[in-house]
Copies of this chain bind each other. A is one copy, B any other.
Amino acid sequence: MTRGFPSTTLSLAILGLISQEPLSGYDLRKTFLTTPMGHFSPSPGAIYPALKKMEHAGLIAGKIEGQNTLRPKRTYTVTAKGLKALRQRLSAPITDSDITWRLDELMLRFAFMGNVLGKRESIAFLYDLASRIEPHVKYLKDHLKIQREREHNRLTGAYALEQGIAKYEATAAWARRVIAALKSE
């Protein structure tokens, strides 16, 4: 068995970044440290083992620069197999569970989607996203009503839920906006 590849959010981020341009572990650390892309730790204890696993799985290939030095620099490039895995992962259907628990990962997927799958699929993704957020917002609003009614944990509890709703509504509105922008590009 190909044993897939460890499909953590970190591995998706790494694969996506390397698919854009060859990068070393240190480059990835710098990216996670200096840019606001998702919630990835620049700790070497996370990145280097992840890179090794993905290389072992044949998704990325490392080129060594300065072979005979003590600490050679490894720059990784995505392989055909890795690109296929990335495409698969980016084109996986959005589930309700993604909406509820992994909105950040959906956004990460979208971030790489333009380059890897193209504009058409990106727009379709946003349509799907927006239309799935709407019923989720409805579900959250129903819960808000219930929570307000039984009203122990009053005051701030219900307001906190409102923030969650506002977050989803902002995301749906953003999706609609981006659909329009992409279409008129």
Binding site for B on A (CB under 8 A): 20-21, 35-37, 39, 100-101, 107-108, 110-115, 119, 122, 139-140, 143, 147, 152-157, 159-164, 166-167, 169-171, 173-174, 178, 181-182
Contacts and interface: CB of A to CB of B under 8 A. Distances in A.
Contacts of A101: 39
Given A115-B155, A143-B35, A107 B164 contact: yes
Contacts of A167: 167, 170-171
A43 to B, nearest CB: 13
A45 B167 CA distance: 30
Given A122-B155, A167-B171, A173-B166, A160 B36 contact: no
29 contacts: A36-B139, A36-B140, A36-B143, A36-B164, A37-B161, A107-B163, A108-B160, A110-B163, A111-B156, A111-B159, A111-B161, A112-B156, A113-B156, A114-B154, A114-B157, A115-B153, A115-B154, A115-B155, A119-B155, A155-B182, A159-B178, A162-B174, A163-B171, A166-B170, A166-B171, A166-B174, A167-B171, A169-B170, A170-B170
